[in-house]
């Protein structure tokens, strides 16, 4: 069966192609960090002069007897790549410039902003980076590529975080869908994801609630480059039919593969792309479908990018059943993420999702989440 696409669908597709083409064109010549390259020899001199007494010649920490303090639980071991690569340079720089308490760390870590020139601090960070032998071709992805989480679009970076995210109907019958998402990385490239949804719906003026279809996912990073600002990952997911079909459950096991590509630009603008499919075991119960999501945003932070981060973004969310005569559902979701804790490991995001094609029976939704990056400290630490 042939179906003519509607004007708004064609505009949407045109827009998506335009965005992808523009960003790929921008990507080719870019270097994430142009300008002066760090002077590691100077960084070493700074380290030997001001840091070695506490952090030790090997970067693991000077013996407690000679350093003269008890190590806090979060004391860094700069040789351990799994601790250091997820930290963007800006996190370290904020601590070195303003001292430990600025990011909710121990006051034993002094502030060097008055003692060292800006370039000395950049140089010593470059020297710190050398403690983790991350120079193989297949290296740990760097924390700079861990872009602000969008509400719908899944990112490529392997995370250690807990997210509670809720979508509430903004019109029509009240309905809430809350997801408890646990993400945990292991090794340089991999991450598991467990997503447990809870659904609460007003059905003819009485509330019905049930767990939804859970997701168990495995993500693998295939490529990442700090120089070009890009990261690419694949994820395979399985959704057993744990949900109630009366409340939107699939009623059959669904396999969900997707690809995610994220691109950061020197201006702190970024784009996140996710494309995948939902492939049910019994397509007669639930049809197969394709989805594609894009998030485009900008991160803004005062104090030379060391302060609180605000990330306004807009998502374009598309899904289409693989059936004759099926329509593509397009939604637009402007939103704002902000870091709540000074350590920036607790973040919140709020947005409004509006359907703009195939709108019958699909209500606008208010969506928000709270995120805890638990690798950076306990929930109540770092304030
Ligand atoms: C007087 C001891 C002392 C000196 C000197 C010192 N540090 Fe620290 N530094 C610490 C302690 C203690 C911590 C851990 C704080 C915590 O986890 O609460 C720390 C933490 C850090 C961190 C980790 C921040 C994070 O995100 O985990 C960095 C980076 C750092 N120091 C860099 C430096 C550099 C660079 C110098 C020299 C310019 C330096 N430190 C000098 C004691 C010191």
Domain 142-376 in this protein, CATH class: mainly beta
Mutate to test the pocket of ligand 1, among 69, 71, 76, 377 (most ligand atoms within 8 A of CB): 76
Tokens, residue 27: 């990507």
Can you give the pTM of this predicted structure? 0.91
Q: From the centroid of its chain, how far is CA 164? A: 14
Q: What is the dihedral of CA 137, 139, 144, 147, to 10 degrees?
A: 100
369 pLDDT more than 80 = yes
Q: What integer is the mean pLDDT of 160-172?
A: 95
Contact 373, 161 (CB under 8 A): yes
- Which residue has a Cα nearest atom 9 of ligand 1? 109
371 CA distance to ligand 1 middle (Å): 26
Report, at the CATH architecture level, how domain 40-129 is classified.
Answer: Orthogonal Bundle (1.10)
* Residues 234-271: tens digit of each pLDDT: 999 999 999 999 898 999 999 999 999 999 998 999 99
Average pLDDT, the chain: 91
**pLDDT grade, residue 164 (50/70/90)?**
very high
pLDDT given at position 334: 97
pLDDT given at position 30: 63
Q: What is the dihedral of CA 117, 121, 122, 123, to 10 degrees?
A: 100
Rounded distance between C-alpha atoms, residue 272 and residue 297, angstroms? 9
DSSP class of residue 40? Answer: H
pLDDT given at position 139: 83
Phi and psi for 313 in degrees, rounded to 5?
A: -155, 165
108 pLDDT more than 70 = yes
Mutate to test the pocket of ligand 1, among 53, 81, 109, 373 (most ligand atoms within 8 A of CB): 109
Residue ranges lining ligand 1, Cβ < 6 Å:
46, 50-51, 53-55, 72, 74-76, 87, 91-92, 95-96, 100, 105-106, 108-110, 112, 124
* CA 67 to ligand 1: nearest atom: 2
Mutate to test the pocket of ligand 1, among 47, 48, 54, 383 (most ligand atoms within 8 A of CB): 54
92 CA distance to ligand 1 middle (Å): 9
Tokens, residue 137: 């071709």
Rounded distance between C-alpha atoms, residue 239 and residue 243, angstroms? 10
pLDDT given at position 1: 42
In sequence order, what are the residues at sequence separation of 6 or more whose Cβ sits closer than 8 angstroms to the Cβ of residue 313?
A: 148, 150, 295, 296, 297, 298, 334, 335, 336, 337
How do the domains of the chain map onto residue ranges?
A: 40-129, 142-376
Tokens, residue 362: 């699909």
* Residues 212-239: tens digit of each pLDDT: 999 999 999 999 999 899 999 999 999 9
Pick from 26-40, 153-167, 333-347: least confident = 26-40
Pick from 63-72, 264-273, 291-300: least confident = 63-72
Rounded distance between C-alpha atoms, residue 110 and residue 176, angstroms? 47
């Amino acid at each position: 069966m042939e179906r003519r696409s509607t004007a708004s669908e064609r505009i949407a597709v045109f827009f998506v192609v335009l965005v992808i083409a523009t960003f790929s064109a921008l990507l080719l010549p870019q270097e994430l960090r142009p300008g002066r390259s760090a002077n590691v020899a100077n960084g070493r001199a700074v380290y030997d002069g001001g840091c070695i007494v506490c952090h030790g010649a090997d970067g693991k920490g000077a013996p407690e007897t000679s350093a003269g303090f008890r190590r806090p639980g979060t004391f860094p071991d700069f040789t351990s790549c799994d601790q250091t690569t997820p930290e963007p340079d800006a996190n370290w720089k904020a601590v070195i410039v303003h001292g430990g308490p600025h990011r909710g760390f121990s006051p034993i870590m002094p502030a060097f902003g008055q003692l060292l020139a800006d370039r000395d601090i950049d140089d010593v960070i470059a020297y710190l980076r050398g403690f983790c032998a991350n120079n193989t071709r297949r290296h740990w992805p760097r924390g700079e590529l861990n872009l602000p989480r969008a509400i719908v679009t899944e990112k490529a970076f392997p995370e250690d975080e807990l997210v509670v995210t809720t979508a509430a109907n903004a019109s029509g019958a009240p309905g809430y869908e809350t997801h408890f998402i646990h993400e945990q990385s292991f090794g340089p490239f991999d991450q598991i994801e467990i997503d447990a949804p809870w659904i609460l719906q007003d059905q003819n003026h009485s509330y019905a609630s049930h767990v939804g279809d859970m997701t168990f996912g495995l993500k693998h990073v295939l490529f990442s480059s700090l120089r070009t600002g890009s990261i690419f990952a694949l994820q395979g997911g399985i959704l057993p039919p744990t949900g109630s079909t009366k409340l939107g459950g699939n009623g059959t096991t669904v396999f969900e593969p997707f690809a995610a590509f994220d691109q950061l630009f020197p201006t702190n603008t970024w784009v996140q792309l996710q494309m995948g499919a939902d492939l049910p075991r019994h397509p007669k119960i639930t049809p197969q479908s394709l989805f594609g999501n894009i998030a485009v945003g900008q991160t803004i932070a005062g104090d030379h990018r060391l302060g609180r981060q605000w990330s306004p973004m807009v998502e374009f969310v598309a899904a289409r059943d693989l059936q004759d005569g099926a329509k593509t559902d397009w939604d637009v979701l402007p939103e704002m993420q902000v870091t709540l804790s000074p350590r920036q490991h607790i973040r919140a995001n709020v947005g409004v999702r509006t359907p703009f094609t195939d709108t019958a029976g699909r209500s606008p939704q208010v969506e928000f989440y709270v995120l805890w990056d638990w690798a950076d400290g306990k929930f109540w630490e770092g304030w």
